[in-house]
Amino acid sequence: MPRRIKSKHQHVASLEAELLRRVRAHGGLSRVQLARDLKLAPSTAGIYVDRLVRAGFLIETENTGRETAGRPPTSLVPNPDGGRFIGVDFEARNLMATVVDFSQKPLRQVHKTLRPTDSAAQILAKIEEAIDEMTARDSRPVLGIGVGVPGAIDPVTNVAVHYDFIKGWSDVPLGARLGARFGVPVFLENNIRSMALAELWFGAGRGLRNFVCIGIRSGIAAGVVVNGHLLHGAQHRAGEIGHWVCPVPPELADGTPPRRNSEWRWQAGARLEQVASLSAIEAAAQRGLERKQETALADVKGEPTIDDVLAAAHNGDSFALSLVRAVGRVHGWVAHQVNELFNPEKIIFAGPLADLGDLFLAPVRETARELGDAGRDLAIVNSKLGQYNGAVGAAALALHQWKPKR
Amino acid sequence: MPRRIKSKHQHVASLEAELLRRVRAHGGLSRVQLARDLKLAPSTAGIYVDRLVRAGFLIETENTGRETAGRPPTSLVPNPDGGRFIGVDFEARNLMATVVDFSQKPLRQVHKTLRPTDSAAQILAKIEEAIDEMTARDSRPVLGIGVGVPGAIDPVTNVAVHYDFIKGWSDVPLGARLGARFGVPVFLENNIRSMALAELWFGAGRGLRNFVCIGIRSGIAAGVVVNGHLLHGAQHRAGEIGHWVCPVPPELADGTPPRRNSEWRWQAGARLEQVASLSAIEAAAQRGLERKQETALADVKGEPTIDDVLAAAHNGDSFALSLVRAVGRVHGWVAHQVNELFNPEKIIFAGPLADLGDLFLAPVRETARELGDAGRDLAIVNSKLGQYNGAVGAAALALHQWKPKR
DNA sequence: GGGTATTATTTTGAAATCGAAATTACTGTC
DNA sequence: GACAGTAATTTCGATTTCAAAATAATACCC
């Protein structure tokens, strides 16, 4: 007569889920290592592992040749055929989806382009379409769906509350809708937070207890991990640093070059999102062209897109580079402020800008270091997880919440 | 053969301690209420309560007349004679100490003035002196000491790591020293964080899970409560918003009145601590006098102290008021930034400035609201706990960590 | 004044988890 | 190739905590 409504690890979905999580995060652990990791008695870990092996979710692997004395450990790995999970991540312009196996390995991914004019209904349809495409011709069961949603969400009711950049996007019952359509549990999370989860579980944040992930796309937001847990805030609105009131480097204010790196301006009400996001860069590039600025971007037909600007910067175009550097300095200021307030071990930048690497990160680091000597202990890096970062994080969200039925 | 090395509530000192905490925070709870609060089975709560009653730490009180049906609950209150705890809180200029009984009621308090020239050794001596004064002629045992320390601390080794405003204050083994002298456990915490604890346990933060406490004294720092727990950061350096790079209102930059409320300036590297702390106000007042500014402060002999400025503002002196308002606007900006990042339920300002009430809070609120419409859900208030806020919090720190010996 | 509804607490037996003591499966050594 | 050394796992009670049922103490209604 199993009961298990509460457990010692109350803050945790269940001990089984926690064990699976550890095994996935750090494949090939032994019972004893798991016990140590989760602070369980070895006997307890043994009981649960056996249960999961018998249920077919874990596999005992061959103990490969070892050198040390003592009884060799039996390594445990997740059974890839334990089930599949789906992750979706989107914002104003792009929708990424992925399906992962039980060991968290991506099996397939799908990208769809969204238009700013797409309505909430159209976006919902595209989400369902993407999921259908990925699960077609594969009969293994889907166990859960995770969705990284832009803007505010309510993780209790699984409703997407609001997002500025999609019209009509408010109080969308995403959880109920997808749950009804696919018949599996659906988990919602704000998409920068699901990126942070991806970093925590298999990215630059692995093993860290305190870090901040800053996503720069149409908007700018931060996913904060405190003590190994996501920060949500009172109304699940934490991390909206896009609304921060920030200083503006001259290049971004009126296009004049700065006299010193530290020469910035203050504009009443300048928001980070309007100063240092991808759309802000596009706008600044366009202003530059109108000013007859000498740049390779002048050859682009139509208004230059963010991809044009980043490509130009990559090719050494000095105007494009000056924009990237100016935005980098702003984010250096952001990193400084975030560091002083949170004292994280690491700040991880994600998005196309961060994908430029040191071209973007150098001015960020330089400025952060200039502003605060406390930055010594702080690593500023970019996300290495690539475009599907958020989608994989969303899949992991579902994966990690899921627990075997009894 | 009691053992109890681990318990279900692993993140918690012990169940006994947790129960005492709840009873102290919300006197007169019944066994059932405690069970609900701590998510225990009623039977479990009963076992522990009985144990604490038998050990003399809790007292069952008369069930006062009630109106509702059903068996009346037996209320439990802490036994005031269970033992005493000491709390100390200091920064560059003041040292406050208090001794509280087992139910957390302050029995006695002591204030000492520190001079900026005091060395670390002199301050240590004053701490011991304050404790001696309070415990003289009272034989009830002291069970623990909590200290709110300015600057960085290491809560594991109980060493005060560093503080800018006291010379020679680095790596002071405060815990070991006081422990040896008084023979009881000593707990260290950064003093803004111990203020935040005081607010959490019996101030404006009671019952909240997410709030930020901003202390404005010689420096400026924030104590952040996330999910009911203090935020420490990777190196226990979280909350140092005094190092934030911030905009500067004209009044504080060069004394000219602003054309609009939103007209601020950006000075390369202006730190919040140099712009909007008590010492910054003194400096700005002094600059005003040198400019022959018309103000009641001109009558003060010597350089005006912060008390002079605050008193003048209180009496309606327009120059002093303009300083307070300008500083208020800066903290409005701070509140906005903090709100967007953390999404707390409340921001609590502490310190002499906040004690002015709406004189200070009105410009804070106004600016925060101007900058962010998200501020609708956010309450901005001042601390009502008074001068001994930090000391009481420090005492509570010791009180809450303490648990009955078995 | 006795029944009934209602809520608090205690009793009871079971599940989860533990710590310590076997037991197992190796490596290395003579 | 027996034997000591070592580390992983299992076995075996013991302890903590639970859930559900039983009991206690009241208010309310007739």
Give tens-digit pLDDT for A189-240. Answer: 999 999 999 999 889 998 899 999 999 998 899 999 999 999 999 999 999 9
Cα distance between residue B161 and residue A65, in whole Å: 47
What is the full DSSP assignment across A234-255? TTS-TT-GGG-B--B-HHHHTS
pLDDT score, position A211:
98
Residue spans of alpha helices (H) in B100-151: 120-135
Contact B237, B372 (CB under 8 A): no
| Bases of chain C within 7 A of a CB of the protein | 5-21, 24-28
Q: What 3-state DSSP class applies to B341?
A: helix
- C-alpha torsion angle, residues B191, B195, B201, B205 (rounded to 10): -140
Cα distance between residue A94 and residue A384, in whole Å: 19
Residue A304 has pLDDT above 50, yes or no: yes
Contact B401, B13 (CB under 8 A): yes
Residue A46 (CA) to nucleotide D8 (C1'), in angstroms, measures: 11
Cα distance between residue A48 and residue A28, in whole Å: 16
* Distinct helix (H) and strand (E) counts, chain B: 14, 15
Q: Which nucleotide is nearest to A69 (CA to C1')?
A: C27
Name the residue among A6, A260, A340 with its Cβ closest to that of B243. Answer: A340
With a pLDDT cut of 90, the percent of chain A lying above it is 65
Residue spans of alpha helices (H) in A56-184: 120-135, 174-182
pLDDT score, position B56:
92
Cα distance between residue B392 and residue B395, in whole Å: 5
Q: Which CATH architecture is the domain A211-382 placed in?
A: 2-Layer Sandwich (3.30)
Residue B329 (CA) to nucleotide D12 (C1'), in angstroms, measures: 68
Binned average pLDDT, 10 residues per bin, chain B of 406 residues: 37 76 89 94 96 94 75 93 94 92 92 91 95 88 94 90 86 95 94 93 91 94 94 93 89 66 60 92 92 84 92 95 94 96 96 95 93 79 90 91 78
| Percent helix, percent strand, percent coil in chain A, to nearest 5 | 40, 20, 35
B368 is written with which tokens?
């925060």
Strands B346-350 and A229-230: unpaired
Residue A9 has pLDDT above 60, yes or no: no
Contact B147, B174 (CB under 8 A): yes
Look up the protein residue whose alpha carbon has the minimum distance to the C1' of C11.
B43
- For residue A259, name the pLDDT band (cuts at 50, 70, 90): low
Contacts of A241 in chain B (CB under 8 A): 340-341
Write the single-letter amino acid at B113.
T
- For residue A295, name the pLDDT band (cuts at 50, 70, 90): confident
- For residue A1, name the pLDDT band (cuts at 50, 70, 90): very low
pLDDT score, position A11:
40
Contacts of A377 in chain B (CB under 8 A): 234-235
Q: Do B8 and A8 touch (CB under 8 A)?
A: yes
State pLDDT tens for residues A129-144: 999 999 988 778 899 9
pLDDT score, position A163:
87
Strands A159-162 and A152-154: antiparallel
The burial class, CB within 10 Å (0-12 / 13-18 / 19+), for A401 is middle
Name the residue among B8, B10, B233 with its Cβ closest to that of A344. Answer: B233
Query: In which residue are the tokens 């509530």 written?
Result: B9
Q: What 3-state DSSP class applies to A172?
A: strand
Residue B65 (CA) to nucleotide D25 (C1'), in angstroms, measures: 13
State pLDDT tens for residues B291-326: 888 888 888 888 899 999 999 999 999 999 999 999
The single-letter DSSP state of residue B70 is S
How far, in Å, are B117, B212, B277, B311 from residue B217 at the CA level?
17, 16, 6, 16
Residue B33 (CA) to nucleotide D20 (C1'), in angstroms, measures: 19
A74-91 burial, b for 16+ CB within 10 Å, e for fewer? Answer: ebbebbbebbbbbbbbbb
Average pLDDT estimate for A331-344:
96
Contact B213, B231 (CB under 8 A): no
300-329 in chain B: CB under 8 A from chain A: none
pLDDT score, position B4:
33
pLDDT score, position A309:
96
Average pLDDT estimate for A289-302:
85
| Percent helix, percent strand, percent coil in chain B, to nearest 5 | 40, 20, 35
Question: Which CATH code is given to the segment(s) A15-78?
Answer: 1.10.10.10
Cα distance between residue B317 and residue B280, in whole Å: 18
- For the domain made up of A83-203+389-401, the CATH class stated in words is alpha beta
Residue A339 has pLDDT above 50, yes or no: yes
Q: What 3-state DSSP class applies to A4?
A: coil
A373-394 burial, b for 16+ CB within 10 Å, e for fewer? Answer: ebbeebebbbbebebbbbbbbb
Using N-to-C axis directions, what is the helix angle for A15-25 and A31-38, rounded to 10°? 110
Contacts of A190 in chain B (CB under 8 A): none
* Mutation choice for B interface testing from A193, A330, A340 by most B CBs within 10 A: A340
Residue A294 has pLDDT above 70, yes or no: yes
**Fold: same for B83-203+389-401 and B211-382:** yes
Write the single-letter amino acid at A122.
Q
- Helix (H) or strand (E) holding B321, with range, is helix B318-342
The burial class, CB within 10 Å (0-12 / 13-18 / 19+), for A254 is exposed
Residue A260 has pLDDT above 70, yes or no: no
Q: Do B377 and A234 touch (CB under 8 A)?
A: yes
pLDDT score, position A126:
96
- Helix (H) or strand (E) holding B49, with range, is helix B42-55
State pLDDT tens for residues A47-92: 999 999 999 999 998 766 667 888 999 999 999 999 999 999 998 8
Q: Do A260 and B239 touch (CB under 8 A)?
A: no
Contact B167, B205 (CB under 8 A): no
Q: Is any atom of nucleic acid chain D found less than 7 Å from the CB of residue A2?
A: no
Phi, psi of B290 (to 5 degrees): -65, -25
- Helix (H) or strand (E) holding A365, with range, is helix A358-371
Contacts of A151 in chain B (CB under 8 A): none
pLDDT score, position B200:
92
Q: Is any atom of nucleic acid chain D found less than 7 Å from the CB of residue B256?
A: no
Residue A264 has pLDDT above 70, yes or no: no
- The gap between the terminal CA atoms of chain B, to the nearest Å, is 10
Average pLDDT estimate for A154-163:
90
pLDDT score, position B265:
61
Residue A27 (CA) to nucleotide C26 (C1'), in angstroms, measures: 22
Name the residue among A209, A243, A260 with its Cβ closest to that of B372. Answer: A243
Residue B65 (CA) to nucleotide C3 (C1'), in angstroms, measures: 23
pLDDT score, position A133:
94
* Residue of A202, A327, A236 lying closest to B374 (CA atoms): A236
Q: Do A341 and B338 touch (CB under 8 A)?
A: yes
Cα distance between residue B280 and residue B252, in whole Å: 9
How far, in Å, are A343, B214, B271, B328, B351 from residue A372 at the CA level?
12, 20, 10, 24, 25
Contact B303, B243 (CB under 8 A): no
Alpha carbon of A106: minimum distance to chain B alpha carbons (Å)? 32
Residues lying close to strand D (Cβ under 7 A), chosen from 54-113 of chain B, are: 63, 65-72
Q: Where are the domains of chain B?
A: 15-78, 83-203+389-401, 211-382
pLDDT score, position A10:
42
CB neighbour list of residue B45: distance below 8 Å, 6 or more residues apart: B19, B31, B32, B34, B35, B38
Cα distance between residue B34 and residue B46, in whole Å: 9
- The gap between the terminal CA atoms of chain A, to the nearest Å, is 10
